Amino acid sequence: MTRTAMIAGAGYAGLAAAAVLARAGWRVTVYEADPEPRSVGAGLYVHGFVHDALRKTGAYDDFMRGAFKPAAHCVYIDGARQSNASTDGNITTTTRAALHVALIDAARRAGVSIIGGSRAVAADPRGALILADGTRLAADLVIAADGVRSTITQTLDIPITRVAHQDGITRILLDRDGLRDDKWNSIHDFYDYRGRPLRVLYTPCGADAFYFCLMAPITDLEAASVPIAGALWTARFPDLAPALRRVGNSGR
């Protein structure tokens, strides 16, 4: 008998679970609160075990077509380079949107139905997902993949502890046009503790895109501000100035 899974949330977790189950013969429906599945964020790193997981979803080939392998991982402290290690092809980067699209396509190819504009509000441990319009969807398996603030998990009375980070992170995805020579094919991770602690992580995440993480304590209102305080960041990290100057008003 075909087993049925109802999944709330068409983010990475929901789509990956959906694709794997559908490929194993389950009938799977994903209910997404937004009208269409959409990706937030900039770029990401994909490490060893995630490659294995992606193979199981059927999204791997699409994912790898758009992915990037940075040449080296360079770390700097207070302006001095500490390491320049070859990645030996072991680090893969991509844009979040590219991975999301690969997972959506893989899930659909496997026969998953993705229904947008459907907010789930609860799960019944006896085997049902409940939608905001009152629809009760019986299932052999219900997956709450509705994100870090999961409504569904809260209805199940599962204890959750959240701890707020003391560092603010501004993430930005930008065009690599003109930044394609060797230097910009590597990861550059700058820590600077002189005066005020700041960190910039530059990550090439495709032939056409790079990803910045700008980190500062949330109490440093100038450094943590968005749009970024461009003069402050370029003065502190002159090696990255050509890339930092592109940030302008983007970032969040």
Ligand X SMILES: Cc1cc2nc3c(=O)[nH]c(=O)nc-3n(C[C@H](O)[C@H](O)[C@H](O)COP(=O)(O)OP(=O)(O)OC[C@H]3O[C@@H](n4cnc5c(N)ncnc54)[C@H](O)[C@@H]3O)c2cc1C
Q: Which residue is nearest to ligand X (CB)?
A: 11
Nearer to ligand X, 36 or 61 (CB): 36
Nearer to ligand X, 196 or 206 (CB): 206
Residue 156 Cβ, how far from ligand X at the closest point, in Å? 13
Q: Which residue is listed with tokens 């040449």?
A: 71
Residue 152 Cβ, how far from ligand X at the closest point, in Å? 6
Residue 10 Cβ, how far from ligand X at the closest point, in Å? 5
Residue 148 Cβ, how far from ligand X at the closest point, in Å? 6
Nearer to ligand X, 62 or 146 (CB): 146
Nearer to ligand X, 6 or 198 (CB): 6
Residue 23 Cβ, how far from ligand X at the closest point, in Å? 18
Residue 183 Cβ, how far from ligand X at the closest point, in Å? 22
Cβ-based neighbour number of residue 5 at 10 Å: 21
Nearer to ligand X, 104 or 240 (CB): 104
Residue 99 Cβ, how far from ligand X at the closest point, in Å? 9
Nearer to ligand X, 5 or 120 (CB): 120
Instruction: Output the six-digit token pair for 204.
Output: 């090439």
Nearer to ligand X, 171 or 236 (CB): 171
* Contact set with ligand X (CB under 6 A): 8-14, 31-34, 37, 40-44, 96, 119-120, 145-147, 151, 171
Pairing of strands 209-217, 167-175: antiparallel
Q: Which residue is listed with tokens 């960041």?
A: 233
Can you say how many angstroms the Cα of residue 248 is from the centroid of all Cα atoms in its chain? Answer: 22
3-state SS string for the chain: CCCEEEEECCCHHHHHHHHHHHHCCCEEEEECCCCCCCCCCCEEEECHHHHHHHHHHCCHHHHHHHCECCCEEEEEECCEEEEEEECCCCCEEEEHHHHHHHHHHHHHHCCCEEECCCCEEEEECCCEEEECCCCEEECCEEEECCCCCCHHHHHCCCCCCCCCCCEEEEEEEEECCCCCCHHHHCEEEEEECCCCCEEEEEEECCCCEEEEEEEEECCCCCCCCCCCCHHHHHHHCHHHHHHHCCCCCCCC
